[in-house]
Chains A and B, each alone.
Chain A
Amino acid sequence: MSHTRESAKRGEVVLDIRDLKVAFASGDDAKLAVNGLDLQVKAGEVVALVGESGSGKSVTSLSTMGLLPPNAMVSGSVEVTGHQVIGLPEERMRKLRATEIAMVFQEPMTALNPVLTVERQLTEALETHNLAFGQAARDRAISLLERVGIPDAAKRIKQYPHQFSGGQRQRIVIAMALTCEPKVIIADEPTTALDVTVQADVLDLLRELKDDLGVGILLITHNMGVVADMADRVSVMFMGDLVEEGTVQEILYRPQHPYTQALLAAVPRLTDVALTHDDEAGRLEAERAGAAEAKGREVVLSAKSIAIDYKVKSGTFRAAEGVSFDVAAGETTALVGESGSGKSTVAKAVLGLLPTAAGELRVQGRDLASLKGKEAKLARRAIGVVFQDPAASLDPRFPIGECIMEPMVVHKVGTKAERVARAMELLAAVKLPADVLNRYPHELSGGQKQRVGIARALVLDPSVLIADEPTSALDVSVQATVLEMLKEIQADFGFACLFVSHDLAVVDHLADNVVVMKRGQVVEQGPTERVLHFPQEDYTKELLAAAPVPDPDAQKVRREARHRLLGIGTS
């Protein structure tokens, strides 16, 4: 095989999955992960495989690559450009990988080897498949890097993965997948680990590659916005079954299966955004509405131009500066921004886990940083916190009941019976059965664990609840349930909520006020209605334009609007 070998003709089926069944041995039993999947990918098209966790979409991608673990049992047929993959001996499968079928992984940081240069990693596949060696391989690697949009490729190819940004690393992973000109690329959640603006760029790149090289892409994702942006056809999986398939318009506009309908209904949408033109009248009205609400607020949490430092080896690093906001009882203020914006840092300072370097941070009128010992402990009773990762935020050795009651034990509140009664009350509030009290975290799903996390945060009846990306680790439909629950509980309990998130649609759904942050600075803040629908700052507009919506036609319009905003030609 050489570089100039013919690429597959457009419209030719390059990946053909028929009646694929995969089961995993567990104990004495077997668990079915994929139940009779049929799927075709043609050259030059993007097929999206959509589903939530446990739907079997990742198992499908592993089967096509022949990477299933030894306790898997497979039947059916998977053909990659005419080669039967199921039952293929490993040494023959290895010859197909990279040359016929390649994979783009979710997390670019772990998909690249940190101790090898980018050059070594790009030329490795060429050399193992005897396609190019030495200078020829290097030249090809450089041209690939240029192709995926890494500037100054000839020089940067000598660098190590950590010297590139997250988006660039994902571009390098894509370049690695392209080295041997495969006919099929499996992209397993390729943009999930990236910020929205970077995600939009990477999706643009994938779209270009599909058009120019004519590869077939199997895009595995849970994000309906990405589907609308990229896919030609869509297959929806639910618990191992293929429930629906069709063109992107059919699935997103006229879903037939109740699961698809429910899934689409659960996706938070952010519509009516004035991106390019200035709707002055609307803006003023939105501002007036915000001002009217502002009367009679009982401010619980207030920050006045606070700054937060991190200690690093060479002195200090200012992670946030000049951040001011206040949150009143019953209100939700959202801190939004991309990674490195300092939004979580501010949340940690409010929790008292980080000291403020300047400014004033008051919870119920008390400055947390200045309190010591007993007083600080007392002040902390007023703050509840919900963490990002439900799997890590509950101690695996504690039964759920003890997890929920722990704050009461720490603060010596109530007798044992009273604590149990309170835990039951909160479990009812988050709609979990009472017998969960004696279960262990590993028996619960992610969404259920997060509901336990909310119950624990509320056990001492706090006046402030800090929610640090509480739904980013959850599936869409579960996220909808948890957010709805959070809203209801806030109405009942009346706490002030500081909501940290990167998802603008979720924020629009939940928050009264928004603070947009970038590199430790506040870019724009104000009532949600004003900031997210009539944004004034370019950065806010850029963020809003980059987040894809689950509507193929509207997304096309937004994509072009974004390209205009950034001043790049539409592709």
Chain B
Amino acid sequence: MNTPETPEALGASVAAVEDAQLAAKQDSLSQGRLVWRRFIRHKPAMISAAVLVLLIIVSMTSIGIFGIKGWWPYDFKTTSVSINGGVPSAQHWFGQEDIGRDYFALVMSGTQVSLIVAFLVGISGTVLGTLLGAIAGYYRGWIDSIIMRIADIFFVIPLLLIAAIVAKTASGAISSPWFLGIMLGVVSWAGLARLVRAQVLTLREREYVEAARAMGASSWRIILKHLIPNCIGTVLVNATLATASAVLLETSLSFLGFGVKAPDSSLGLLISQYQNSFTTRPWLFWWPGLIILIIALSVNFIGDGLRDAFDPRQSGRVKKRNLAAAALMGIRPIPVPTTAERAELAARERAASGPPRGGAAGPVDAAETERTDEEEGR
């Protein structure tokens, strides 16, 4: 127990005990800090985050970015003699493609572009979706109707189709990854807007929102200061998932020829360019595919970790450490009968034809009881 004080010592008042507990408290953790603590304990998410950061660092430093030169000796534009048919070697880690360009440099350049597009989509789609969803949920009425009907339009028209049409009409600018990223973000906000709207609809009935309204706070203040920060869990989780799917969307667009165009390269474009060499030079296909897989998986795992961190109502299981702590309090759980032992016990009871009298079972750790064979519905 956290309270060494006896009730007598404090005049036996709950209020007094609570105040003493509060005064004795040392560290103060915000909700954000609590979430962060849970997040860094989530192993898959932390490994994924490390992998993703490593990938970003390697792709940025190896061939350089914004004209700064990196540590990789080759350029992704210069052609040279193809050594041993371009098979991966110590010199060319990822091999060379058909006209002798270094494939590591090409893949890294493609990774840069794909990551930029993915993050742009994630950020712009999230900002738009959150704002529009919050506005729709807060104001309700006709504003809500208009925003959600527009969202419906984005839902019923396939994303690829919209992207293809925009790409055709703005063929010059589209090849820039920046433009592509923003454009995909603008068309992919609808799902998040729906989620945020639903959450705001419940949050706006909370008393702290009413309190803010009663003190005369403006609608914008309520939306930005009270509603959106309280949706942050939903928003962050969905931002990561949107980023992961944006990597795949960019890949499919570039593969179809609507996305990034040469001389820029992207992972999808590389796959599309070298799809014919699959039988002769399979590494030209595998490397970009592997990188896409790594990005999509790690971002998804990070999203998973965030979701668990924001929603800690996971089914709590008793661990060894808990049992040790419980033993100090005088709770000594004994081994729990397995299903077979339980059946034997039941048989013996039937033979004795009487209900088990108290104490026979002894102290039992209810938590360790196998619950897999039990019905959940009560």
Q: What residues of chain A have their CB less than 8 Å away from a CB belonging to chain B? A: 16, 18, 21, 23-26, 28-32, 35-36, 52, 54, 67-77, 79, 82-84, 86-91, 94, 238-240, 243, 257-259, 261-263, 266, 351-353, 376-377, 380-381, 383, 385, 387-389, 392-397, 399, 406-407, 410-411, 431-433, 435-436, 438-440, 442-445, 447-448, 456, 460, 475, 477-478, 481
Contact = CB atoms under 8 A, between A and B. Distances in A.
B359 interface: yes
A477 B166 CA distance: 67
B331 A377 contact: no
Contact of A28 (B29, B317, B319): B319
Contacts of A432: 19, 22
A410 B216 contact: yes
24 contacts: A26-B316, A28-B322, A30-B331, A73-B326, A76-B363, A86-B364, A238-B12, A239-B7, A243-B7, A351-B214, A380-B215, A385-B211, A385-B215, A387-B207, A395-B229, A396-B31, A410-B218, A436-B22, A439-B25, A440-B29, A444-B22, A447-B15, A448-B22, A477-B14
B22 A75 contact: no
Contacts of B369: 87, 89-90
A397 B14 contact: no
Nearest to A399: B30
A443 B22 contact: yes
Contacts of B29: 440, 443
Contacts of B330: 21, 36, 75
Contacts of A351: 214
B217 A74 contact: no
B53 interface: no
A264 to B, nearest CB: 11
B344 interface: no
B371 A70 contact: yes
Nearest to A81: B355
B329 A30 contact: yes
A202 to B, nearest CB: 25
A91 B345 CA distance: 14
A432 B206 CA distance: 25
Contact of B214 (A71, A383, A399): A383
Given A73-B331, A91-B374, A393-B207, A86 B15 contact: no
Contacts of B350: none
A555 B117 CA distance: 74
A440 B229 CA distance: 14
Contacts of A67: 378
Interface residues of B, number: 74
Interface in B327-342: 329-333, 336, 342
Contacts of B230: 395-397
A28 B321 contact: yes
Given A84-B359, A383-B214, A73 B14 contact: no
B322 to A, nearest CB: 4
Given A74-B366, A385-B211, A477 B15 contact: yes
A393 B357 contact: no
Contact of B329 (A23, A70, A90): A23
Contact of B14 (A52, A90, A261, A439): A52
Contact of B207 (A75, A392, A411, A433): A392
A432 B19 CA distance: 8
A91 B13 CA distance: 42
Interface string B297-322: 00000000000000000011111011
Contacts of B216: 376-377, 380-381, 407, 410-411
Contacts of B325: 23, 28-30
A460 B359 CA distance: 62
Given A86-B363, A440-B28, A73 B322 contact: yes
Interface centre among B232, B332, B358, B364 (most CB of A within 10 A): B358
B330 to A, nearest CB: 6
B261 interface: no
Contacts of B11: 258, 262
B356 A83 contact: yes
Contacts of A25: 316-319, 322, 326, 367
Contacts of B262: none
Interface centre among B361, B363, B365, B371 (most CB of A within 10 A): B363
A369 to B, nearest CB: 15
B12 A392 contact: no
B358 A74 contact: no
Interface string B61-92: 00000000000000000000000000000000
A393 B22 contact: no
A393 B208 contact: yes
Interface centre among A87, A393, A436, A440 (most CB of B within 10 A): A87
A79 B358 CA distance: 6
A32 to B, nearest CB: 5
Nearest to B227: A395
A469 B39 CA distance: 39
B55 interface: no
Given A29-B322, A410-B221, A447-B15, A21 B329 contact: yes
Nearest to B327: A30
Interface string B1-27: 111000110011111011100110100
A444 B332 CA distance: 32
Contacts of A448: 18-19, 22
A31 B369 CA distance: 20
B317 A71 contact: yes
B22 A23 contact: no
A478 B15 contact: yes
Given A75-B331, A376-B216, 17 more contacts: A30-B329, A31-B2, A35-B329, A74-B365, A75-B332, A79-B357, A79-B358, A82-B355, A87-B336, A89-B342, A258-B7, A258-B11, A393-B208, A393-B210, A397-B30, A439-B28, A440-B28
Given A74-B363, A353-B213, A438-B28, A388 B207 contact: yes
B22 to A, nearest CB: 6
B322 A75 contact: no
B212 interface: yes
A436 B21 CA distance: 12
A110 to B, nearest CB: 14
Contacts of B322: 23, 25, 28-30, 71, 73
Given A79-B358, A439-B28, A387 B13 contact: no
B375 A410 contact: no
A392 B22 CA distance: 20
Given A28-B319, A380-B215, A411-B216, A73 B366 contact: yes
A395 B206 CA distance: 9
Contacts of B158: none
Contact of B366 (A86, A238, A407, A447): A86
| Pairs A-B, 8 closest by C-beta atoms | A87-B364, A71-B316, A75-B363, A25-B322, A259-B12, A30-B325, A393-B207, A90-B374
Given A90-B375, A442-B31, A70 B319 contact: no
A16 B358 contact: yes
Contact of B361 (A54, A88, A442): A88
Contact of A239 (B3, B321, B329, B366): B3
B170 interface: no
B323 interface: yes
A236 B245 CA distance: 57
Contact of B215 (A87, A392, A406): A406
Contacts of A377: 216
Contacts of A36: 330
Given A389-B207, A393-B208, A411-B216, A73 B12 contact: no
A137 to B, nearest CB: 20
A32 B28 contact: no
A485 B371 CA distance: 49
B366 A353 contact: no
